[in-house]
Structure 1
Amino acid sequence: MTVIIILITALVSWQAFNNPELKSRLMFIPTAVKDRGEYYRFLTHGFVHADFRHLLFNMWALYIFGQAAEDIFQVYLFGPAFGKVAYLLFYCAAIVAASVPDYLRHQDNRMYASLGASGGVAAMIWPYIMWMPWAWFIFPPLPAILIGIGYIAYSHYADKQGGSNIGHNAHLWGAIFGLIAYVSLSLAYEPGLMTEFVARLLQPQGPNF
């Protein structure tokens, strides 16, 4: 399912690169939602990107974190059949949830628009982190649990600072949604995942690249 999402996102984004009208129809524009009821934009903006670099970074991150999340959904939470559907719903819900704060903030701002899968991708880091909290990354050279905490802290800080075209608020709320939703699903359907997370968290490991 992760590969399918990546392929669909890449295809739609590629078409939008060369079709400004298509990009405009799919972007998240809060005033269009409020004035014309175009609620589909809460989701469709996650399948278009500003440029190839934006697309490549998001899809690389989704490939890394999404496959781990997909495995957890299929093996531990919902089984191989419904697990794929639940994983897709989790991803799409994260895209929507990450956009709600920006809608509330910018619903009367006709200059505001956003696009990209960052909100959905940010949600995917938490299943990965809570399964392998001490997995080390080459860049930044930190364990996953610190990257997750740092990601939320930095997104909040950067959003407050402003002055950037990067949607830090969507990153922040995508990550928060992912954490809350994943913990809630785990407690409801497989509490052993949380027990395993605590056990692994209490056994720090050194760098293992």
Structure 2
Amino acid sequence: MTSIVMVEMPFDGPISLFDVPVTTALLIANIAVSWYVLYVNPRLLEPLSFQPYRIFENDEYYRFLTAGFVHGSVAHLAVNMITLFFFGPILEGILGSLEFFMLYVLCEILAHTVTFTYHYTDPQYAAIGASGAVSGVVFGFCLFFPLEMLYLFFILPIPAVLFAVGYVVGSIYAFQKNQRENQAGGIAHEAHIGGAIAGILVTIALDGRALSSFIDSMMTLV
């Protein structure tokens, strides 16, 4: 994610991290692995990162998962984990822990799949971070609560559905701009788009209530 987003609880009562074991485990795993790579053994960054060319040439498919648990800086890690902290418990509470785990992993893989299709011939390209999976979580939330107010950078209120539209449009524009300028850029915008789309499709596949909830919410505006 390229911006920190906060959401107020859309239902009564706080959610304890003890009640959402998958979100808690993902937060701990991301923080622990990223901290270890950043400050203890930086040499692990290269073998764990997402490098489409090496995957294509050497069948290193494990990178589809490992790249999502390493980050390039504390700020990079913080943005993704703060977003997961706000949205993960809500969505895990709705879907269930197993389904939420499936959503997270599938969004990570599918987001990297989009990146792979564009960069598998580029030996210089590498990407890291949980942005694809976190994007999927946010967009899964937006299906259930499209009119819920999100707060960009904790202060700017925006309905979830408008955030989702702006996020996708902005990512597409940034990706096309990088393509025109023949630059990989510092942000994997194509992975964000892939994660967002995956979040919508996988959430609907896991819970049929998601689509009907979205439609019912939007109908209140008519």
- Shorter-chain TM-score category? 0.7 to 0.9
Structure of higher RCO (CA pairs closer than 8 Å, 6+ residues apart): 2
Say if 1:72 and 1:127, in contact at 8 Å, map to a contact too.
no
Match of 1:23 in 2: 45
For structure 1, the residue ranges without an aligned partner over 5 or more in a row are: 75-83, 205-209
How many corresponding residue pairs? Answer: 191
Percent identity over the alignment is 31
From the two aligned structures, give the one with the greater helix fraction: 1
Give the corresponding residue for 1:143: 159
2:59 and 2:25 mapped to 1: Cα distance?
29
SS in 1 for 2:137: helix
Question: What is the CA–CA distance in structure 2 between the aligned matches of 1:108 and 1:168, rounded to whole Å?
Answer: 18
Give the TM-score of the pair, scaled to structure 2: 0.81
Distance 2:147 2:49 in 1: 36
Task: Report matched runs for 1:11-90 at 5 Å.
Answer: 11-18=32-39, 19-74=41-96, 84-90=97-103
Structure 1 residue 86: deviation in Å?
2.2
CA RMSD of aligned residues (A): 1.4
Is residue 95–residue 206 contact of structure 2 (8 Å, CA) maintained in 1? no
Deviations 1:51-70 (A, max 9, x none): 00000000011111211210
Aligned residue type for 1:200: S
CA distance in 2, matches of 1:95, 1:181: 11
Structure 2 residue 192 is the aligned partner of structure 1 residue 175: no
Residue aligning to 2:214: 197
Equivalence map 1:2-17=2 (5 Å): 2-17=23-38
| Letter of the structure 2 residue corresponding to residue 130 of structure 1 | L
Equivalent in 96, 113, 116 of residue 100 of structure 1:
113
Q: Give 1:94 shift.
A: 0.7
What is the TM-score when the length of structure 1 is the normalising length?
0.86
Q: Does the 8 Å CA contact 1:68/1:127 hold for their aligned counterparts?
A: no
User: Any stretches of 5+ residues in structure 2 without a counterpart?
Assistant: 1-21
Matched position secondary structure for 1:138: strand
Which consecutive segments of 4 or more residues in structure 1 shift more than 4 A? none
Does the Cα contact within 8 Å between 2:107 and 2:195 map onto a contact in 1? yes
Aligned pairs (5 A) from 1:150-189: 150-162=166-178, 163=183, 164-187=185-208
